[in-house]
Chain A
Amino acid sequence: QKEVEQNSGPLSVPEGAIASLNCTYSDRGSQSFFWYRQYSGKSPELIMSIYSNGDKEDGRFTAQLNKASQYVSLLIRDSQPSDSATYLCAGYAGNMLTFGGGTRLMVKP
């Protein structure tokens, strides 16, 4: 079992809707969490980080962390076709980021 788990998708949402991406992790020593966006054939790009329980908002993106439930999520409001990509969840522990397998998001016009 991977230490960071994500549903591989694809998650399909209509343009303008809210996309909800979820991630669970097994290492309770994980100190912080990150969401990366990866377009096909490109490298991962950091879009959100979250370090404490609760919500963190940045523009159309909201990251949520619940350490008791070992759960991280990313909400994308007003989804755009340009948001179509694979979203990678990562937890930081032991000097490294451990990534999930990614969720492919498709936003349909």
Chain B
Amino acid sequence: GAGVSQSPRYKVAKRGQDVALRCDPISGHVSLFWYQQALGQGPEFLTYFQNEAQLDKSGLPSDRFFAERPEGSVSTLKIQRTQQEDSAVYLCASSLEVLGNYGYTFGSGTRLTVV
């Protein structure tokens, strides 16, 4: 596709509900990243994929967060038993290069509100 596509754009979840956020990167982009952006803050790294391999998940805040990219293209970020502190914008980014040293292209994000 022409850009990084994320869905849904907005998600309201009741506390304790599981959610799944989807990212469709630019076709052919090897690297895929998930970031979490709280209101008024910069994006915080969550996890990184190179093709289907999850090479770094050091930013995932708890074991309630899980990400996958089984075929090396579309990725899903899953949050189990959502809590209010999970409310944020979840940004997906992709990069053509393996190391992503030339900057990322971000999707529009998913705004998650946990009530």
Contacts and interface: CB of A to CB of B under 8 A. Distances in A.
A98 interface: yes
Interface of B: 33, 35, 40-45, 48, 55-56, 59, 91, 99-109
B11 to A, nearest CB: 15
State the main secondary structure of chain A at its contact with B. Answer: strand
Q: How large is the interface on A (under 10, 10 to 19, 20 to 34, 35 or more residues)?
A: 20 to 34
Contacts of B106: 43-45
A99 B36 CA distance: 11
Interface of A: 4, 6, 8, 31-32, 34, 42-46, 49, 88, 90, 92, 94-102
B30 to A, nearest CB: 12
Contact of A46 (B43, B105, B107): B105
A102 B99 CA distance: 24
Given A43-B91, A44-B43, A102-B42, A92 B101 contact: yes
A95 B104 contact: no
Contacts of B55: 95
Contacts of A32: 101-102
Given A92-B100, A92-B101, A95-B56, A43 B107 contact: yes
Contact of A49 (B91, B103, B105): B103
B104 A97 contact: yes
